[in-house]
Structure 1
């Protein structure tokens, strides 16, 4: 069986099954696995379940976007600002640009758009009088709760129903998957080769 680990270097290279891109060579051995091999069939069931969740999560976010009349990047920005507030962190335009992985020009347009629509507010940093601090407005908090709180409560119930060991296993698995998914392709290939050796 495949052990769950939070070390990406020890994790199998199954992520290509889910995150396949045209840039990945199309040789079958690169991302298809023989379900007759020990553990592969059940591992593929796990990845299929993850993929179904990703599809369902995307649908949930689209519903929220439609309810709030904003696009996907706007929703990501608002949710990130809310998360920062909950962690007592202050977001700046540069911080948001890095999180969204968009240019400073695109960030400026996004901030202007969300400020005009009443979703965020900008304050001058009192420490230097120039830098901006970004916050989600109360209206955004209400809209996010209205759009997502019911689903989040149900998701929390599912997580609470797990035993402590199951929760730890899920966390380790998803952290390893996340680490591999954001890894540059050249590094991911190195990890795959070391995992197979």
Structure 2
């Protein structure tokens, strides 16, 4: 192996041919997205540490707060579906968050067997304290953009999100070719 083959590719060029015309600016955009994702993860980790919760707990608390803002009442089943976890894992999560004072559970007055879930006032205050300064700064960055820039960024991020949560292209292509292939009967040797 020559020296050049043993060195890793330059940052941002691993998956892309940086020699193609127009690719370098696109690589810079993708690198900026990656830097933001790393920074966002660090911000969330910092918030989790300050609130003494794990990532799933924090996501659950933020979801309950969002439901309250939308005047929706969350149930354990709703939370389980949102977090994509089993009902057993949801039960453990709810016990943990109730014991730590982050959520409160109430009996649903319309169905005495069901529960309604709410973030406690303390959780609202903690989330606001931990994240509000950062959220205000992020909002200011977005407000400083022109309307055209805002629209372009929304379109770009929505397209990136659709790709990230959609099926992998190679899997979709493989499934499509398998589905399009004619079915053949097995050859019987006699």
**Both proteins in one fold, TM over 0.5:** yes
Mapped partners of 1:169, 1:95: distance in 2: 33
Structure 1 residue runs without a partner (length 5+): 1-17, 19-27
Partner of 1:140: 123
Mapped partners of 2:169, 2:34: distance in 1: 23
Considering Cα pairs closer than 8 Å and 6+ residues apart, tell me whether 1 or 2 has the greater RCO.
1
Partner of 1:75: 58
Q: Give every structure 1 segment of 4 or more consecutive aligned residues whose post-TM-superposition deviation is greater than 2 Å.
A: 184-190
Q: Normalising by structure 1, what TM-score?
A: 0.78
Q: Normalising by structure 2, what TM-score?
A: 0.80
Q: Alignment partner for residue 37 of structure 2, among 54, 61, 74?
A: 54
Change (3 A) 1:62 1:162: same
Q: How far does the alpha carbon of each residue in 1:33-59 deviate from its partner, in whole angstroms, 9 at most, with x for none?
A: 212212211111111000000000111
* 8 A Cα contact 1:180 1:188, kept in partner: no
Mapped partners of 2:16, 2:169: distance in 1: 21
Partner of 1:100: 83
* 8 A Cα contact 1:125 1:133, kept in partner: yes
Mapped partners of 2:117, 2:170: distance in 1: 34
Partner of 2:25: 42
Displacement of 1:92: 1.1
Residue 102 (structure 2) pairs with residue 119 (structure 1): yes
Structure 2 residue runs without a partner (length 5+): 1-11, 177-190
Change (3 A) 1:188 1:169: farther
Q: Alignment partner for residue 167 of structure 2, among 184, 189, 196?
A: 184
Q: How far does the alpha carbon of each residue in 1:54-108 deviate from its partner, in whole angstroms, 9 at most, with x for none?
A: 0001110111111111111100100111111111111111111111111110000
3-state SS of 2:113 partner: coil
